[in-house]
């Protein structure tokens, strides 16, 4: 699936129309300000000049369709998501929208396609590891995954959570990065291991544990789901860790094309400064993971 942004084929997400998005996001930001936090992972102290990409005839972004809410197919089978809208915003900021394309494929095909020259960038949650850094260059992270505690609304946990939860039972998914992080960051907590998140959250609702610890993004959507029945909320945090949770989401380019990564950094910095990045976060994360 390939989309050219310059044509009428650009496909927005399923939450609001493109025409209504900006006004809805700004209005919504005022009404949910106390509930939604929009973090900024970009260092605005950096002073970058606008790059000239006039010599490039095409910039094709490669992505996938199975990484919601970042990239997915909507109910009409159209490519949508936070990353898709971010790509369009980047291309607009760099004045290259007519030359921008985005193509979806299987995750395993992303790096080989980039290396063959079938694309110029990957925007699909590709991890930054020693192996990927050997062949690819990355932008600065534009999103990071926080770990969060979830508690019932009747029994929230006060800061500092390390002291408040010391000796108390806290659920976490067995064998997960969050289980290792909980043990390292909060050694005084009584860890209770569950086969999966759903079992841990069920135990929380039954009052068997004082809190559940896990991925803030996934938990933010669970809190708004029918399954949660408005039972719970976040307490403490957010907690970030490169060691346990990775460095976050970045755009990858070929190692020889680091100049393009810096151009994307410039664009993202401008989007952060203009608050447009926050508007995108509000659109796709109505309950902030932060």
Give the tens place of pLDDT for each residue, 106-141.
Answer: 999 999 999 999 999 999 989 998 899 999 999 999
In a domain, 289, yes or no: no
What is the distance between the alpha carbons of residues 260 and 11, in angstroms, rounded to a whole number? 24
48: pLDDT strictly greater than 60: yes
Asked if residue 180 and residue 59 are part of one domain, the reply reads no
In a domain, 86, yes or no: yes
pLDDT tens by residue, 197-218: 999 999 999 999 999 999 999 9
Asked if residue 224 and residue 257 are part of one domain, the reply reads no
Asked if residue 164 and residue 38 are part of one domain, the reply reads no
Asked if 67 and 30 count as a contact pair (C-beta separation under 8 A), the reply is: no
What is the distance between the alpha carbons of residues 190 and 166, in angstroms, rounded to a whole number? 7
What is the distance between the alpha carbons of residues 212 and 180, in angstroms, rounded to a whole number? 14
Going by pLDDT thresholds of 50, 70 and 90, the confidence category of residue 49 is confident
Asked if residue 62 and residue 197 are part of one domain, the reply reads no
Asked if residue 276 and residue 238 are part of one domain, the reply reads no
Asked if residue 233 and residue 190 are part of one domain, the reply reads yes
Q: Given this model, what pLDDT does residue 288 score? A: 87
In a domain, 189, yes or no: yes
Strand arrangement, sheet containing 147-152:
190-194, 169-173, 211-215, 147-152, 232-239
In a domain, 290, yes or no: no
The whole-number average pLDDT for the span 28-50 is: 54
Q: Given this model, what pLDDT does residue 287 score? A: 84
What is the distance between the alpha carbons of residues 204 and 83, in angstroms, rounded to a whole number? 33
Asked if 17 and 268 count as a contact pair (C-beta separation under 8 A), the reply is: no
Which pTM does this prediction carry? Answer: 0.81
For residue 70, give the CATH number of its domain. 3.40.190.10
Asked if residue 49 and residue 133 are part of one domain, the reply reads yes
Asked if residue 110 and residue 225 are part of one domain, the reply reads no
Q: What is the number of domains present in the chain?
A: 2
Range of the domain at 177: 147-245
In a domain, 104, yes or no: yes
Asked if residue 125 and residue 16 are part of one domain, the reply reads yes
Place of tokens 């135990």: 203
12: pLDDT strictly greater than 90: no
In a domain, 197, yes or no: yes
Asked if residue 135 and residue 12 are part of one domain, the reply reads yes
pLDDT tens by residue, 236-286: 989 999 999 999 999 999 999 999 999 999 999 999 999 999 999 989 988
pLDDT tens by residue, 146-168: 999 999 999 999 999 999 999 99
């Amino acid at each position: 699936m390939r989309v050219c942004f310059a044509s009428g084929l650009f496909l927005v997400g399923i939450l609001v129309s493109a025409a209504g998005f900006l006004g809805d996001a700004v209005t919504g930001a005022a009404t949910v300000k106390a509930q939604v936090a929009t973090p900024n992972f970009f260092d605005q102290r950096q002073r970058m000049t606008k790059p000239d990409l006039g010599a490039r005839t095409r910039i094709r972004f490669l992505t996938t369709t199975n990484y919601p809410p970042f990239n997915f197919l909507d109910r009409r089978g159209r490519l949508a998501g936070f990353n898709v809208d971010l790509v369009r915003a980047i291309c607009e900021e760099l004045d290259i929208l007519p030359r921008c394309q985005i193509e979806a494929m299987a995750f395993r095909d992303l790096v080989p396609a980039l290396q063959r020259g079938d694309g110029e960038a990957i925007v699909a949650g590709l991890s930054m590891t020693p192996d990927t850094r050997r062949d690819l260059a990355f932008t600065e992270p534009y999103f990071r995954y926080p770990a969060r505690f979830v508690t019932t609304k009747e029994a929230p946990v006060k800061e500092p959570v390390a002291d408040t939860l010391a000796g108390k039972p806290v659920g976490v998914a067995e064998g997960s990065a969050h289980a290792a992080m909980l043990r390292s960051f909060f050694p005084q907590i009584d860890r209770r291991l569950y086969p999966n998140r759903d079992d841990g959250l069920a135990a929380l609702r039954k009052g068997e544990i004082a809190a559940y610890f896990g991925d803030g993004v996934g938990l933010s959507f669970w809190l708004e789901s029918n399954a949660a029945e408005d039972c719970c909320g976040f307490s403490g945090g957010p907690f970030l860790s490169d060691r346990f949770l990775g460095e976050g989401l970045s755009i990858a380019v070929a190692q020889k094309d680091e100049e393009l990564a810096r151009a994307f950094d410039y664009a993202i910095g401008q989007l952060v400064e203009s608050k447009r990045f926050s508007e995108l976060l509000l659109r796709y994360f109505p309950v902030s993971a932060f």
